[in-house]
Amino acid sequence: MSTSPILETIHLSKRYKKRWAVKDLNLSVQPGDVFGFLGPNGAGKSTTIRMILTLVFPTEGEVRLFGGLVAQNRMRTLGRVGGIVEKPDFYLYLSAVRNLQILGALNGGVTESRIEEVLELVGLKERARDPVKAYSHGMRQRLGIAQALLHDPELVILDEPTSGLDPQGMKEVRELILQLSREQGKTVFLSSHLLHEIELVANRMAIINRGELVVQGEVEELLSKGEVYVILKAEPADAVKRVLERCTPPIPFRLSEEGFRLDMEFSRIPALAKALVDEGIEIHAIVPRRSLEDFFLSLTESETPSLSESGAPS
């Protein structure tokens, strides 16, 4: 893999009056990455994307795209980037085709056949002549992806592209992202507030909270580095304890509010389930957990804990 990042933010910061929306953010996205940019709502994801795409000017720091400073090479670099920023808004009184013609004209070199092609890719060819105001949210989201791909960019920046979609729509977008990466070799920068979504498509990720970088690295590595445990809800408790002590090797456990918290590898779950069933124990739930998930959930639910408190990798 190339060592020269396709996208880099260096000490990137944005302050609105007294509040820092983004503070000292250092991200590095390599060519070919599907890079997950994860954070709870209001963490600074969209502000970061707006700074990358030159909608918002950084208070401090800089953005580099394709090795050059965006601030100095805006026209050259933006021609190689396509993106959706937050919800997909269009000229509602115009058709999808007309919207794409206007946006294509701003990019230059976008042919009518390319417009047809991207509309087909996102499944909007049949409704291409309808005014966008008649589109559902999902259709607008797909049109948003179409406009991002219109000029065949090398880097695609997608800000919460599955937001508001039904499960089928979410699945289609995920498949499209993987297709863009695997079949077309595009680099994808994907922001989301759902760890699960990032886990399904991204190879690298960063977590941001309150404008600051929490962690950055390979998805697999980040997810495996942290503590792994299983939550077991089963009755009767005494019988469960006996089974856990009898296992080879015995499974260390403690009681938590959620049930038994078992310190074990996920690979032992089937054997444990069988042992519990054989003992006639009633199983309500067996939930594999990783500390990164716990940590991320805690970010989205309440005050920010420190990484050391949550046991997440740093």
Partner 1 sequence: MIRLVTYELVKTFLKKRTYLGFLIILLIVPLIEVAMKIEGEGMVRMWTRGLQQDFFFVGNLFNGWIVAYALMNSLWIHIPILISFVAGDMLAGEATSGTYRLILTRPVSRTGIFLSKYVATLLYTLLFVCFLALLSIGLGIALLGTGQLLVPLEGLLILPADDIAWRFFVAYILAFWSMTTIASIAFFFSSFVENAIGPIIATMGTLIIFTIIVFIQLEFFDPIRPYLFAQYMNLWQNAFTHPFSLESLQDGVLVQGLTSIVSVLGAWVIFVRKDILS
Site for partner 1 contains 266 (CB under 8 A): no
Site for partner 1 contains 92 (CB under 8 A): yes
Q: How many residues bind partner 1 (CB under 8 A)?
A: 32
Site for partner 1 contains 71 (CB under 8 A): no
Cis peptide bond N-terminal to 236, omega within 30: yes
Task: Report how far residue 171's alpha carbon sits from residue 197's, in angstroms, rounded to the nearest whole number.
Answer: 10
Q: C-beta of 85: minimal distance to partner 1 in Å?
A: 4
For residue 119, which of 150, 90, 88 has the smallest C-alpha distance? 150
Residue 149's contacts (CB-CB under 8 Å, 6 or more residues apart) are 82, 118, 121, 156, 180
Residue whose CB is less far from partner 1, 83 or 161: 83
Instruction: Name which position in 31, 32, 61, 79 contacts partner 1 (CB under 8 A).
Output: 79
Instruction: Name which position in 108, 167, 249, 280 contacts partner 1 (CB under 8 A).
Output: 108
Q: C-beta of 163: minimal distance to partner 1 in Å?
A: 14
Task: Report how far residue 85's alpha carbon sits from residue 80's, in angstroms, rounded to the nearest whole number.
Answer: 16
Decide if 81 contacts 147 (C-beta within 8 A): no
Distance (Å) of CA 167 to CA 27, 44, 142, 177? 30, 26, 14, 15
Instruction: Name which position in 67, 93, 236, 277 contacts partner 1 (CB under 8 A).
Output: 93
Instruction: Name which position in 6, 27, 29, 81 contacts partner 1 (CB under 8 A).
Output: 81
Beta-ladder partners of 260: 232, 255
The CA-CA-CA angle for residues 183, 186, 188, to 5°, reads: 120
Q: Return the axis-axis angle of helices 112-121 and 96-107, rounded to nearest 10°.
A: 120
Residues 39-58 interacting with partner 1 (rule: CB under 8 A): 50, 53-57
Instruction: Name which position in 15, 74, 127, 233 contacts partner 1 (CB under 8 A).
Output: 74
Site for partner 1 contains 106 (CB under 8 A): yes
Distance (Å) of CA 248 to CA 109, 130, 312? 66, 65, 28
Site for partner 1 contains 285 (CB under 8 A): no
x/- track of binding to partner 1 for residues 222-251 (CB under 8 A): ------------------------------
Q: C-beta of 168: minimal distance to partner 1 in Å?
A: 26
Site for partner 1 contains 105 (CB under 8 A): yes
User: 3-class DSSP state for residue 79?
Assistant: coil
| Site residues for partner 1 per CB under 8 A | 50, 53-57, 74-79, 81, 83, 85-87, 89-94, 98, 101-103, 105-108, 147
